[in-house]
Amino acid sequence: MSTTNQALADWVKEIAEHTQADQIYWCDGSDAEDKKFNELLLADGSYKQLNPETHPNCYLHLSDPQDVARVEHLTFICTEQEADAGPNNHWMAPDEAHSKIDDLFKGCMKGRTMYVIPYCMGPIDSPISRCGVEITDSAYVVQNMRLMTRMGQAALARIEREGGFVKGLHSTGELDPERRFIMHFPEELTIKSYGSGYGGNALLGKKCHALRIASYQAKTEGWLAEHMLILGIKTPAGKQHYVAAAFPSACGKTNLAMLIPPEGYVKDGWEISTVGDDICWMRPGEDGRLWAINPEAGFFGVAPGTAKDTNPNALAMLYQDTIFTNVAETEDGQPWWEGLDDRTPKTDWQGRPYDPANGPAAHPNSRFTVSAKRCPSYSSESESATGVPIDAIVFGGRRASLVPLVAEARDWEHGVLMGATVASETTAAATGAVGVVRRDPMAMKPFCGYHFGDYWGHWISMQEKASRLPKVFTVNWFRKDEQGQFMWPGFGENMRVLEWIIGRCQDQLDANETAIGMLPSRDDINTKDLDMDLNVLDELLAVDQQAWQNELSSVDAFLQGYGERVPAALFKQLRRISDQLD
């Protein structure tokens, strides 16, 4: 297999010569190729076959112990002007970055095969989708990209039709943490990643392309590339709605994407479907609405904590055709991680006999890679070329106090402020300091490919591009009482909040206007069969005036930190809230 796209052919030839690869292999995405690669990875010891009776076609990969997570401090945005990268990114001048990383790539594939992976982010025939090509020397990366993207012959055909593509060059190198960089060149639509085999650093279609490069593409082309799940909600009346939602890590994003509603809701005829759990690309449609696709074709999820009681839909996917990375293994060859069940594993994530003195059996960031089609709540609309129309955008953080269970923005600009200032509080277990507020705008802090001030300005500009923008909401499932107990039951009960959100989108449910937005009263939330003190619900929907004034001071200081590029509209919204609180 080769290509009629001269730019692609020339690039592949140039990289093969520079890296001194032994041979070049063009991936075609076929089932036969999939089988061949699994056999190759088993033969070289990169894969271990898991129990074929309980987990057919499932494999365990144990990575280098020093290569188990994204490396933000070694991740750079390389724009011509440093100011364009913004204080939210590490910056390096493009010439310096190319020179530094190209030196590392020189001769690095000697004795290795160079794999060429043409891929499409999003349905092959969708105008919202974008294509890329990843060159890698890792067969493990090939197999993950096979599950995570639409990869192979069809993607190459689209690249040949359209001409353009995002270039991604990756090598595991020597897996030396001192020789590891992930460089992004947004203005060149190019990614170079060296020295890591871990997902977010090596599967270049994921965070590198789908967020860092795509967010820049989206700004130049007039759409949004966001770190959001996409959830389908069908009412008993048969009306289909779609919600996009952004949550920083450890805020229940995947659980919400695969929500199972309480029994009463299921009996009443509510239906939930999953379009995506991590990334959402939204484009204004001819009808004035935002239409969204999930650019990914699979899930690259965190294993620990995934269990029958936390996310049964996620667990149900993982018994077939799954790659497990850095989990533990039981006596009979099944994958295991903390929170799964009460069995004791035989070996840990480093392949050692399990000993609690060595720490967790599965690495806290251990992963599963699986096709989205295996999810019981999978939506066939995931393959729709037009995407799905978004009715509501939801931002969530993890706040033990202050932020109410749910609030609706007054208008689009107020919604952008809500998203730009979303925050989580640290816990003692994480940092030793309790309640330190860390802001993660739109859950994009590690992933926005340019200056946050320009990014917020781009969000605000969507008002000029779409006439029927989604309503915007914030949620907070994590309020605690004086005893430190969660006040809201969470998980499936979050459906009650989603029902109010959908009711607001249909103009069917009431809200009270407050300084911080539109809030439901206790009676606006469906509390049928809800096992909680309804006075607590009142507390979850209250606005503490003084505490919010303090919050506004913190928000103001945070925005000021991004300098003169922050849109004036955000400060205007802040003043409006402050005046109303007074």
Domains defined along the chain, listed by start: 6-46+69-222 (3.40.449.10), 226-295+383-581 (3.90.228.20), 298-374 (2.170.8.10)
505 belongs to an annotated ligand binding site? no
Backbone angles phi, psi at 31, to 5 degrees: -65, -35
Its pTM stands at 0.97
517 has binding-site annotation: no
78 counts as catalytic: no
Q: What DSSP designation does 358 have?
A: G
Q: Given this model, what pLDDT does residue 363 score? A: 97
The reply to whether 254 sits in an annotated binding site is yes
Q: Is 367 left (phi over 0), alpha (psi -120 to 50) or beta?
A: beta
Q: Per-residue pLDDT tens for 251-263?
A: 889 999 999 999 9
Is 249 annotated in a binding site? The answer is yes
Distance CA 356, CA 363 (A): 13
Is 200 annotated in some ligand binding site? yes
Q: What is the pLDDT of residue 2?
A: 86
Marked catalytic residue, from 251, 280, 375, 448: 251
The reported pLDDT for the residue numbered 146 is: 98
**250 marked ligand binding residue:** yes
pLDDT at 249: 80
Question: Token digits for 253?
Answer: 């994003």
Which segments of the chain have a pLDDT < 50?
428-431
Q: Which of these, 293, 506, 472, lies nearest to 388 by C-alpha position? A: 293
Tell me, what's the pLDDT at 427? 56
**Dist. CA 84–CA 93, nearest whole Å:** 11
320: amino acid identity, one letter: Q
50-83 tens-digit pLDDT: 999 999 999 999 999 999 988 999 999 999 999 9
305 assigned binding-site residue: no
Q: What pLDDT does 251 receive?
A: 85
Q: What is the pLDDT of residue 569?
A: 98
SS3 at position 95 = helix
**3-class SS of residue 563:** helix
Q: What is the edge-to-edge ordering of all strands in the sheet holding 48-49?
A: 48-49, 59-61, 323-325, 367-371, 298-302
Q: Is residue 198 part of an annotated ligand binding site?
A: yes
Give the sign of the dihedral formed by CA 553, CA 556, CA 561, CA 564: negative
- What pLDDT is recorded for position 161? 97
Work out the number of other CB atoms within 10 angstroms of the CB of residue 14: 10
